[in-house]
Amino acid sequence: MSLSLYAWSFLAIPLWMTLMQNLVWNNTRLGEHRFQSRMRWGRTAFIVFTNILGIAFTLGLFTPFAQIRLLRYRIESLTLLPASGLDDFIASSEAHGSATGEGLSDLLDFDLSM
C-alpha cells in the first residue's frame, strides 16, 4: 500500500507542477507581450526522481543542487514572446526621477541600492 502511494506521488507531483507552470505562464501577459511555457511532464518527472535519489544517497547534501536543477529547468522552459520591440516597452516603464529626490536621499543618507 505505501509503495503504491510513493509511486503515485512520484507521478502526480511532477504532473501537477508541470500543468500549473504551463497554465500560469501561458496565460500571463505583460502589456501586449505574452509568455510561453513548454515544460514537459516526462522531463520534470525524471528531474524530480533523480533529485530524490541524489538527496537520499547523499543524506540531504544534494538538496541545494536539486532545487537549483529543477528551477533551472523551469526557467529554461519559459519564453517571452514580444509583440513588438522591447525598447519601447522599457522606455515607457522607466521611472522618471528628479534631482530633488536624489539630493534628499543623499542628505538623509538612505542607501536604496540592492
Quote the pLDDT of residue 11.
83
pLDDT at 23 over 60: yes
Decide which of 31 and 97 is more confident: 31
Structural Rg of the chain based on CA atoms: 22
For the ranges 8-12, 80-84, 86-90, 100-104, the lowest mean pLDDT is seen at: 100-104
The confidence band for 38, taking pLDDT boundaries of 50, 70 and 90, is very high
Beta bridge partners of 63: none
Q: Is 21 helix (H, G, I), strand (E, B) or coil?
A: helix
Q: If you search the block for the grid coordinates 503515485, which residue do you land on? A: 8
**Integer Cα distance of 15 and 12 in angstroms:** 5
Q: What is the pLDDT of residues 59-69, one digit of tens each?
A: 999 999 999 99
